[in-house]
A and B are shown apart, each in its own frame.
Chain A
Amino acid sequence: MTTSVTPGTAVPGETRRVVELTVNGVHRSAEVDVRRTLADFLRHDLALTGTHVGCEHGVCGACTVLLDGLPVRSCLLFAATVSGHSITTIEGLGQLQPDGTTKVSPVQQAFRDCHALQCGFCTPGMLTTITAGLAENPHPTAQQAVDMISGNLCRCTGYQNIVEAVLRAAELMENPDAPLPDEGFTADEHAKGDA
């Protein structure tokens, strides 16, 4: 069965577009090719090179940013498509202090505490993903921490310290002064606890 549709008019196509975004709370705009990905827009047009680009086809997670608070792959979005929206990048995770310095976020602090990075290439994507993951689930188990980062590849750490950092970040969010256990965490112990 076929019903009629209201006739509409075709819209014109563009090859360039002015993109307006709120990035880390600041309004930014630039005119770019419509094929510009959000990752390249951030890095090349806004000079925010904290967002890393690895595979450029959605597999590695290095380019993950928050779009209106939710993690997305910035290599799989065209900047033109998300014009008008709000983006948080790695540069925006820390909190600006009254004296002009920046305080690292609990997730960043946890990465430092747990030695959760080596070369640091995957780290911006890990931090944005975990920040959003903990906002949704503030008390993850070790298994849930593994699931949280399962879409992000790391070639250096072997992941164990990143899983520890997720758990440590959850602890720091609850109590910013939580002491590090003398012997440090081990994700293995958490995993045993869950089994």
Chain B
Amino acid sequence: MKPAPFRMYAPHTVAQAVATLAALEAEGQHAKVLAGGQSLVPVLAMRLAEPGHLVDINGVAGLDAIDVSSAGVRVGALVRHAELLRHAEANRVQPLLSQALNLVAHATIRNRGTTVGSLAHADPSGEMTAVLVLTGGSVTAVSVRGEREIPAAEFFVGPLESSLAADELALSAFFPAAPAGAGTAFVEMARRHGDYALSGVGAVVIPGPSRDEGAPTISVSCGFLSVSETPLVLDLSDAWAAGEDSVMAVVRAAIDPQDDIHASADYRRHITGILAVRAIREALARVREEQAA
């Protein structure tokens, strides 16, 4: 349970960090960025990976900012989950952040783990991966070649695989603001509070003017975790208009959960339908609270 030997690099600037990653890449070396270490260190301890080089970004200046504007929330690479969870202004602009962060691991892990690190880790059971896709956010990456913005839909390639190149550093993530009048909610089921979820669902509902001359319609979208290889988002507006049974049927048909030691695929499929209905109901209740206030 001890990591294999490696060399550690401690850059102080982003320029040094990406130059170091580029030099290691040019030498054909296997290098990894070390942020909070809450996913990477267990992987090293169990020797599931033995990278020869770790570029520790904890001493890099300027990566710890949370910038909030009416457009959304930009989160720097060294912002710990706990800091974002406590940031009142960020959570006013995009309430899904704290709704989901409350369910990310335990408080002790959140004190160290970074939100951007959990995106880079690209775990389909990670709450923040689902939030990034559901909100239509993006990740800004930097390398010696320059900076680029990667939309959420292109960021997650497979389980534990992002579209970051080996010599790229994720600088920040951007979560767009919740649309005006929208209600959001995040619900999940885990064996114990703080464990990785068996299944989880985030919902965004936006009451809108009538699409046809009929009844007023609401736009409903849900993001899912632990039930597909990459974070999945479904537009459930029509299904919701047809009723809760229809939501459950559409969701269960769209997801692809796996069996594991914690739950069977069938059980996950079953509860995910229910969780989707719960998330939508909760988000709608928030819309009503807003309207009443």
Contacts and interface: CB of A to CB of B under 8 A. Distances in A.
A138 B7 CA distance: 43
B160 interface: no
B161 interface: no
20 contacts: A1-B149, A3-B146, A5-B14, A5-B15, A5-B18, A5-B144, A7-B15, A10-B19, A10-B22, A11-B10, A34-B54, A57-B1, A58-B109, A70-B82, A72-B112, A75-B41, A76-B41, A81-B37, A81-B58, A151-B194
Given A5-B147, A13-B53, A151 B108 contact: yes
B106 interface: yes
A72 B146 contact: no
Contacts of B42: 57-58, 76
B142 interface: yes
A148 B194 CA distance: 11
B145 interface: yes
A5 B167 CA distance: 14
B107 A151 contact: yes
A5 B146 contact: yes
Nearest to B38: A76
A3 B145 CA distance: 9
Contact of B15 (A6, A34, A67, A71): A6
A129 B194 CA distance: 15
B41 A70 contact: no
Nearest to A15: B7
A97 interface: no
A150 interface: yes
A10 B192 contact: no
A61 B5 CA distance: 25
A113 interface: no
Interface residues of A, number: 43
A17 B23 CA distance: 21
Contacts of B192: 150
A81 B6 contact: no
Interface string A7-27: 111111111010000000000
Interface string B106-125: 11110110000000000000
Interface of A: 1-15, 17, 33-35, 37, 40, 56-58, 61, 64, 67, 70-73, 75-78, 80-81, 129, 133, 147-148, 150-151
Most chain B CB neighbours (cut-off 10 Å) among A58, A64, A77: A58
A133 B8 CA distance: 33
A11 B11 contact: yes
Interface residues of B, number: 53
A13 B9 contact: yes
Contacts of A3: 146-147
Contacts of A4: 146
Contacts of B7: 13-15, 34
B2 interface: yes
A5 B8 contact: no
Contacts of B163: none
A57 B53 CA distance: 20
B56 interface: yes
B109 A73 contact: yes
Contact of B19 (A2, A8, A57): A8
B15 A8 contact: yes
Contact of B193 (A14, A40, A150): A150
Given A10-B23, A71-B111, 15 more contacts: A5-B14, A5-B144, A7-B19, A8-B17, A10-B16, A11-B12, A11-B19, A13-B8, A13-B53, A61-B106, A61-B108, A67-B111, A75-B41, A148-B107, A150-B193
B13 A8 contact: yes
Contact of B2 (A6, A17, A35, A151): A35
A151 B3 contact: no
B133 interface: no
Contacts of B17: 8
A58 B6 contact: no
Contact of A129 (B10, B12, B108, B112): B108
B46 interface: yes
B45 interface: yes
| A-B residue pairs, 10 tightest by C-beta | A8-B15, A151-B106, A13-B7, A2-B146, A34-B8, A57-B42, A10-B23, A56-B1, A8-B19, A10-B20
